[in-house]
Structure 1
Amino acid sequence: MKRIVVCGLSNRAMQMFIKPILTKFSQENEIVGLLDQDERRGDLIYERFPELRDVPYYSPEAFSEMISKTRPTTVIVTSRDDTHVDYILQGLKYDLDIICEKPMVITSQDARRVMEAEESSKGKVTVAFNYRYNPFHRKIKEIILEGKIGKITSIDLNWYIDTYHGSSYFKRWNRMRKHSGGLSVHKSTHHFDLVNWWIDQKPVEVFAYGDLHYYGKHGEENPSQIDNRYCGTCTEKLLCNYYSRWNNRTNSEVVKDDHVKAEVEQNYTNYRPDACIFDHEIEIEDTYVATVKYNQGALLSYSINFSLPYEGYRLAINGTKGRIETQEFHELSRIPFPVPEQTIDYFPLFGSKEIIHVVQNEGGHGGGDPLIQEDLFLGIDSSRKYEILAGSRAGAYSIAVGEGVWKSSKENKPIRIDQLLENYIYE
């Protein structure tokens, strides 16, 4: 029986971890402690999950007391990104296993600290890269392992975030680099981890450009230069195309938030996740293009844009024996035009094209969430022929690439991944 404490009572904690543990995995797992900096979030947990009313709530400074009194085996970390490192290190100090939401941490320096602490601990760090478990992404991994496209030479990955989802990052804490590491870390680590895992090569060097085009004080759609506005109370919201696209005049503001749903302000204490996307304090980028070089010769061409008419991605992987392509249109309810079914198209170097229709399953992130939950709470599926659950090294590589993208775009020079990690995992 795993005895679990949850650090960070976010919406992600509720939907991805707490609810499944209580409804699907309660015979093997028990939640014994809850921790958050906002006592209101503790109240919210008790309201939504009455069966947890006897589970004690703790504030961050009481972490050691929580461990002493609840005697957990596992710490789930689903707090704000910049706080992950604190809970991971404290948990490892007590020889506890860690399950951490992505990104593992927000800097390469903190990634090194986590790996060093893990080496001297009996505990193990697992990063919940649920997108690996998406059926299309698993199939891509299997095609590569089968050798159908040969040695990987290059990857083209272009990611598109629509105006609904993209603007949400600029309404809340993610817009502050000190809290999120910027979107090349908070969001793009998902994508860098996928590529690293697919091709099983180490990233060596990154060169990138990045800029802030849509949001912040210079955004072209900004109704005025007034600062400190909030969507829920803004007198100019009907002049804002971002607001008007997803709301009509009779609707209340609905904010997409990966952490606590914000339909009502009462979910928070002294925090509003509907801050204006054109505030002057916004400094993180909303557009990146990057090239990543890998240790076995592969080259990644990557881009991401956080303000587009639809959401999804285009992917192509080239090898010495052929090429695979796929395109995903995500959140179909938000796309106002017909889109094709996602397939994987295989083009052998010499031969006929093959269209692969992938067997899918229900659940969040394209069906990935239920599968990673089974691995996390029931144990790794022994029938799977390849590793899929991510550890601290995978977390570190994804963060180093994301940090390298940002630093390269600011310093206008290539960034060596081994220098960011101080050769820690290049021995």
Structure 2
Amino acid sequence: MKRVVICGLSHRAFNMFIQPLTEDFNEHYRITGLLDIDLQRYTLCQERFPSLRGVSFFHEDAFDQMVKETKPDIVIVAGRDDTHVTYIMQALDHDLDVITEKPMVTTAKDAKKVMEKEAESKGKVTVTFNYRYNPFHRKVKELILDGKIGRVTSVELSWLIDTYHGASYFKRWNRTRQFSGGLSIHKSTHHFDLVNWWIDQKPKQVFAYGALNYYGSESPWNPLQGEENRFCGTCHVKDICHYEARWNPRVERSKVEDDHIESGQEQTQQYSNYRPDACIFDQEIDIEDTYVASVSYDQGALLSYSIQFSAPYEGYRLAINGTKGRIETNEFHVPSRIPFQFPQQTISYYPMFGSKETIEVVKQPGGHGGGDPLLLADLFIGKDPLIHYDILAGAEAGAYSIALGEGMWRSVTENRPIEIDELFHKETV
């Protein structure tokens, strides 16, 4: 029986880790400690998971005490992004294995510290990049490994986040770089890791443009400029707010569910000193919502990447070019939030000389396109013997996805190309 402690009792921690550990993997794993800054989250955790009643709670600065009293084998880190580095480093100091939510940390400098600490420790860091496990993403990896397109030369990835999902980041702590590193790290780390993993190359240099276009106090969609600190649950101008009208119509206040977004209205009064329904037009917002970037890799591949967080629908367009052909796929994500007809996702393979092939991938149930259950199985049962390549990500993969994200926003700020290796040695944050 392996003993597990959870650092950060977040919505993600509840759904991604605590529920499976208490329901699906409880024969071999037992949660022995819970750590968070907010005692109220501990109360909520016990209410939702009665089997955890009696499990000890520790405040954020009591990690060493928790380890001493609960004797864990594994530390799961799932709190606010800026707290990750503290618990990862402390866990490695105790030679404990770490499973951490992405992003592993929020700066390349901290990522370097984690890699160095891991090299000295008996513990190992695993970063839960569940997008790798999506069946379409695995198929893309397999096509490349099979040599179908030859040597990868360039990648085109355009990602769209709809106004429901996108707005959620600007209602919560993610809206400040201090806590999240910005969305170029918090969200784009997923996408950069996918590309790095698909092509098996390391990013070398990035140049980018970015801006805050749709959120913040200067947004053209702000229903009342000049007034700060509004909250959706108590807002007096929500009847003239287009975002509110799109997702919470006046006649039918139905909730549009998402597998990793907190239900803001329900949680408003349940946390201490925190509300996940802050106004998306606040002046406090100091991150970008739009990026376009060009990236060069150490083995010659090039990436053209874009993302924007206030799109009419959610999904992505991907193309990977090689010396022997091209792979294309388009995804329209969260069908319940798309108000128009759209095609089902397939993968198109275009050989350099020959006929196009259309691949219909076998879909799987579960969050993130079926990726979450497979990730959990690899974490808590062991590597799938039927998959001949590695999917679980370690500290190095986490580090390069973060460095690329940091390089993207630094390039925007400094208006120059950013060398990725430079960031691992940068003194400023």
TM-score between both structures, scaled by the size of structure 2: 0.96
Which has the larger displacement, 268-277 or 146-155? 268-277
Specify the alignment match of 1:331 in structure 2.
334
Q: Is 1:418 equivalent to 2:402 in the alignment? A: no
Q: Residues 392 and 208 of structure 1: is their aligned pair in 2 closer, same or farther, counting only changes over 3 Å? A: same
Alignment of 1:222-371 (within 5 A): 222-225=222-225, 226-249=227-250, 258=260, 260-262=262-264, 263-371=266-374
1:251 Cα deviation after fit: 5.6
1:346 Cα deviation after fit: 0.3
- In 1, are the aligned partners of 2:259 and 2:367 still within 8 Å (CA)? no
* Deviations 1:382-422, CA, capped at 9 Å, x for gaps: 33110110000000000000000000011110000111123
Counterpart code for 2:232: C
* Deviations 1:27-56, CA, capped at 9 Å, x for gaps: 121111111100000000100000110211
Partner SS, residue 329 of structure 2: strand
Specify the alignment match of 2:208 in structure 1.
208
- Number of residues of Structure 1 aligned to a counterpart in Structure 2: 423
Which has the larger displacement, 45-54 or 258-267? 258-267
Alignment of 1:401-412 (within 5 A): 401-412=404-415
1:103 Cα deviation after fit: 0.2
Specify the alignment match of 2:193 in structure 1.
193
1:217 Cα deviation after fit: 1.2
Q: Residues 259 and 57 of structure 1: is their aligned pair in 2 closer, same or farther, counting only changes over 3 Å? A: farther
Partner SS, residue 103 of structure 2: coil
1:303 Cα deviation after fit: 0.1
Matches of 2:273 and 2:111, distance apart in 1: 30
Specify the alignment match of 1:61 in structure 2.
61
Matches of 1:289 and 1:281, distance apart in 2: 23
- In 1, are the aligned partners of 2:269 and 2:275 still within 8 Å (CA)? no
1:250 Cα deviation after fit: 5.0
Unaligned runs of 5+ in 1: none
* Deviations 1:145-172, CA, capped at 9 Å, x for gaps: 0000000000000000000000111111
- In 2, are the aligned partners of 1:152 and 1:318 still within 8 Å (CA)? yes
Matches of 1:15 and 1:209, distance apart in 2: 35
- In 1, are the aligned partners of 2:203 and 2:404 still within 8 Å (CA)? yes
- In 2, are the aligned partners of 1:28 and 1:378 still within 8 Å (CA)? no
Matches of 2:138 and 2:343, distance apart in 1: 20
Specify the alignment match of 1:395 in structure 2.
398
Q: Residues 118 and 180 of structure 1: is their aligned pair in 2 closer, same or farther, counting only changes over 3 Å? A: same
Partner SS, residue 110 of structure 1: helix
Matches of 1:257 and 1:367, distance apart in 2: 12
- In 2, are the aligned partners of 1:2 and 1:72 still within 8 Å (CA)? yes
Q: Residues 253 and 234 of structure 1: is their aligned pair in 2 closer, same or farther, counting only changes over 3 Å? A: farther
- In 2, are the aligned partners of 1:232 and 1:253 still within 8 Å (CA)? no
Specify the alignment match of 2:82 in structure 1.
82
* Deviations 1:169-222, CA, capped at 9 Å, x for gaps: 111100010000000000000000000000000100000001000011110011
Match of 2:381 among 375, 378, 382: 378
Matches of 2:394 and 2:130, distance apart in 1: 12
Matches of 1:296 and 1:18, distance apart in 2: 40
* Deviations 1:341-368, CA, capped at 9 Å, x for gaps: 1000000000000000001110000000
- In 2, are the aligned partners of 1:182 and 1:285 still within 8 Å (CA)? yes
Specify the alignment match of 1:26 in structure 2.
26
Unaligned runs of 5+ in 2: none
Partner SS, residue 61 of structure 2: helix
Partner SS, residue 216 of structure 1: coil
Q: Residues 332 and 12 of structure 1: is their aligned pair in 2 closer, same or farther, counting only changes over 3 Å? A: same
- In 2, are the aligned partners of 1:10 and 1:260 still within 8 Å (CA)? no
Specify the alignment match of 2:104 in structure 1.
104
Matches of 1:73 and 1:260, distance apart in 2: 29
Matches of 1:267 and 1:134, distance apart in 2: 33
Counterpart code for 2:96: L
1:254 Cα deviation after fit: 5.7
Specify the alignment match of 1:136 in structure 2.
136
Matches of 1:67 and 1:283, distance apart in 2: 36
Counterpart code for 2:67: I
Counterpart code for 1:131: Y
- In 2, are the aligned partners of 1:106 and 1:399 still within 8 Å (CA)? yes
TM-score between both structures, scaled by the size of structure 1: 0.97
1:61 Cα deviation after fit: 1.3
Q: Residues 257 and 267 of structure 1: is their aligned pair in 2 closer, same or farther, counting only changes over 3 Å? A: farther
Counterpart code for 1:103: P
1:338 Cα deviation after fit: 1.0
- In 1, are the aligned partners of 2:267 and 2:275 still within 8 Å (CA)? no
Partner SS, residue 170 of structure 1: helix
Matches of 1:299 and 1:164, distance apart in 2: 31
Counterpart code for 1:420: L
RMSD across aligned C-alpha pairs, in angstroms?
A: 1.4
- In 1, are the aligned partners of 2:316 and 2:330 still within 8 Å (CA)? yes
* Deviations 1:247-280, CA, capped at 9 Å, x for gaps: 1225669696947543232321011111111111
Matches of 1:420 and 1:251, distance apart in 2: 49
Partner SS, residue 47 of structure 1: helix
